Amino acid sequence: MAMVDADWTIDRATGNIRYGGADHNGAATYATVIQFRRWLGEKADDASSGTSDDEYDITDPTAADRKTDNFVQLLGNYNITQAEAEHLFDGSIIQGTGGTEVFFDGIINFGNSDVQIQIIQDGAVLADDWWNEAGAGLNPDAAQGISHRFLLETKTAGADIDGRRLIGTTRTFGNTYGEFTINGTSRGNNVLALVDSADLNNGTIEGTVAGWTGITLTTEGFAPITIGGVVYDFYSEWNTNQPTRSINDFYERMKWTQRDGSTETLWGLNGELFRGITHEWDVDGGTGTFSAFELLTFTNGTAQLLAVDNVTTPTKMWVQLLTGTLPGDNDLITGVSTATALAEFTGGQSLARPISTPAVGVSTGTALIGAYGFGVEADDLTANDKVFDLTNTLRTPPNNVTFTVFGTENGEDRLLVTNDNAGDIDYAQFTLNGLLSGPTVTTVTVNGAIPGDTPTSGTIRVLRVSGIYSLHDYSVWSGSDFTITSHNFSTDNAINGANTFISYLDLLVGASDPSFTGVYGSDRTYFIRDRDGGGTPIKSFETTGIGGANGGSATVIRTSDE
């Protein structure tokens, strides 16, 4: 489009070239950089401008120099502001000299017409995304596959704004996420390549995902996690709230925390700014105590610490670079905590780490392919999920499977699930290895190894001398030992060799569809018994169910016994 003359003014005394038309809406006008230059040229050859809004004619100094069709330099005291730059596109404009020099550099995005872009500059997400119109980009060129064309200020008062570095992101909830980096703008047009499309695994309404509770970050920072009996290091440990929430629900919630307009905080950063680990640094010479995560400063820039292997004597840091460039070897790194360390890049390393968009990784709909260093509680993962630790090594979780009992009545039914023995409780699943006596017994040792599919915590029953199978909560098991809540066996011992069994579910039903989770090793048949002898009694119901590689279930049939 040509310049709309009525929307622009030139002030001879100040050199101010100003846009006075409508702001960003259907009535606003826009012009290319070369159209702006030609408009100035049309004014320059006027015999006289008088005192009109266009105080520029043949008697005035030249206002602009065309370097190329996409690069115009304003001369002398002629100038625009950010407000004017927002109504120009397809090139760069520079003005001033020395300590007054200002750059407005052109940005174009090759992407789908409705992609919505956010810009990270100088360690912050720019608050006003005026280059996005409702459902479209500003100044598109559909024939060239261009969705956006606009100018951004990259130098002010003679100083580059963060080295003229920009990061473009797309984080429209429900769509795929992406980012593209400009490592230092140049004159003319600088290219982004940001596209998005519907994310088939992110179809839940945003307001619904916003209301989900129970998904929590249990460890924010350096997080050793035991997977399959081996400890690996991550920079987070998330509780995905399974089985209430699926692994894909977790994926959607994580996308929600990073969406455009997020008010969530992750590792001390706004969720929209959070990108995950960008670099791994070797360090030494630590002083003081670092926080689990905090802002770091150094000669060349700033970074957010996301994890450190030791808060007092660190050897490795994992960070998100915010501004500037990497520290040099032996540079001092200082935290807000006032703790310090030295960059150790001679004989050591500063590794750029892969960025995932979103930071959680990718969902297949039924499994998570996790991002670098992004950790989840081992009990919330299955063998189909993939996670990568801080060495960027794939760690495959054991196959955690869930067995669920449907059809019970909350607050009414007493439910028992055990190992099956020909359609009955397997009372002799184990036998005790040693007498249980004394007032504070905390360990129950059985003969033989506890099977690997045993839930990490739960309940067992032990045959006492009185003939009663007493119920005991265990918090952990290992080898042949269950660690139970301290119990008094002084007056009713459990003799050596007494029957002992796991009660996988053993409770008055207090929530719909009780379930338990264990690591699949081989198929197991469970015995299920459900009873209600209260005000509306039912007949005792018994059945069996098989727990397999994909879990399993059984359904209670509640038949009245009145």
Euclidean distance between CA atoms 299 and 122, whole angstroms: 15
Q: Which residue has the higher pLDDT, 63 or 1?
A: 63
The mean of the pLDDT values for the chain is: 95
My answer on whether 377 and 390 are in the same domain is yes
pLDDT value at residue 562:
81
pLDDT, tens digit, for every residue of 142-154?
A: 999 999 999 999 9
| Residue 297: exposure state from Cβ atoms within 10 A (0-12, 13-18, ≥19) | middle
Question: Whole-prediction pTM value?
Answer: 0.80
My answer on whether 20 and 82 are in the same domain is yes
In the predicted model, is pLDDT for residue 348 greater than 80?
no
pLDDT, tens digit, for every residue of 360-370?
A: 999 999 999 99
pLDDT value at residue 111:
97
CB contact at 8 A, 154 and 105:
yes
Confidence band, pLDDT 50/70/90 cuts, at residue 179: very high
My answer on whether 425 and 447 are in the same domain is yes
Task: Report yes or no on 197 lying in a domain.
Answer: no
Q: Is the peptide bond before 358 cis (omega within 30 degrees of 0)?
A: yes
pLDDT, tens digit, for every residue of 515-551?
A: 999 988 899 999 999 999 988 999 999 999 999 988 9
pLDDT, tens digit, for every residue of 245-288?
A: 999 999 999 999 999 999 999 999 999 999 999 999 999 999 99
Average pLDDT over residues 377-398: 92
Query: Which of 337, 352, 367 delimits the end of a domain?
Result: 352
In the predicted model, is pLDDT for residue 1 greater than 60?
no
In the predicted model, is pLDDT for residue 7 greater than 90?
yes
Confidence band, pLDDT 50/70/90 cuts, at residue 338: very high
- Cα 335 → chain centroid: 23
Task: Report yes or no on 72 lying in a domain.
Answer: yes
Task: Report yes or no on 561 lying in a domain.
Answer: no
pLDDT, tens digit, for every residue of 407-452?
A: 999 999 999 999 999 999 999 999 999 999 999 999 999 999 999 9
At 33, which helix (H) or strand (E)? helix 33-44
Instruction: Provide the domain limits for residue 347.
Output: 279-352
CB contact at 8 A, 443 and 433:
no
CB contact at 8 A, 156 and 243:
no
pLDDT value at residue 445:
98
3-state secondary structure of 251: helix
Task: Report yes or no on 76 lying in a domain.
Answer: yes
Q: Which two tokens stand for residue 53?
A: 């809004």
Task: Report yes or no on 372 lying in a domain.
Answer: yes
The number of distinct structural domains making up the chain is 4
My answer on whether 362 and 239 are in the same domain is yes
Euclidean distance between CA atoms 275 and 355, whole angstroms: 7
Locus of tokens 């048949």: 525
- CB neighbours of 341 closer than 8 A, spacing ≥ 6? 283, 284, 285, 286, 287, 290, 314, 317, 332, 333
Average pLDDT over residues 191-220: 97
pLDDT value at residue 53:
67
Confidence band, pLDDT 50/70/90 cuts, at residue 52: low
Confidence band, pLDDT 50/70/90 cuts, at residue 94: very high
Confidence band, pLDDT 50/70/90 cuts, at residue 6: confident
Query: Which of 398, 427, 459 delimits the end of a domain?
Result: 398
CB contact at 8 A, 406 and 528:
no
Task: Report yes or no on 560 lying in a domain.
Answer: no
AA letter at 222 = F
My answer on whether 70 and 182 are in the same domain is yes
Query: Which of 158, 192, 226 delimits the end of a domain?
Result: 192
My answer on whether 364 and 472 are in the same domain is no
My answer on whether 25 and 125 are in the same domain is yes
Q: Which of 34-48, 228-242, 468-482 has the lowest mean pLDDT?
A: 34-48
User: Residue 401: beta bridge partners?
Assistant: 518
My answer on whether 177 and 225 are in the same domain is no
My answer on whether 119 and 231 are in the same domain is no
Q: Which two tokens stand for residue 123?
A: 């360690």
Give Dmax over CA atoms of the chain in angstroms: 116
My answer on whether 367 and 477 are in the same domain is no
AA letter at 116 = Q
Task: Report yes or no on 198 lying in a domain.
Answer: no
pLDDT, tens digit, for every residue of 156-173?
A: 999 999 999 999 999 999
pLDDT value at residue 386:
94
Locus of tokens 């979780």: 397
Task: Report yes or no on 319 lying in a domain.
Answer: yes
My answer on whether 95 and 83 are in the same domain is yes
Confidence band, pLDDT 50/70/90 cuts, at residue 51: low
My answer on whether 327 and 427 are in the same domain is no
CB contact at 8 A, 31 and 88:
yes
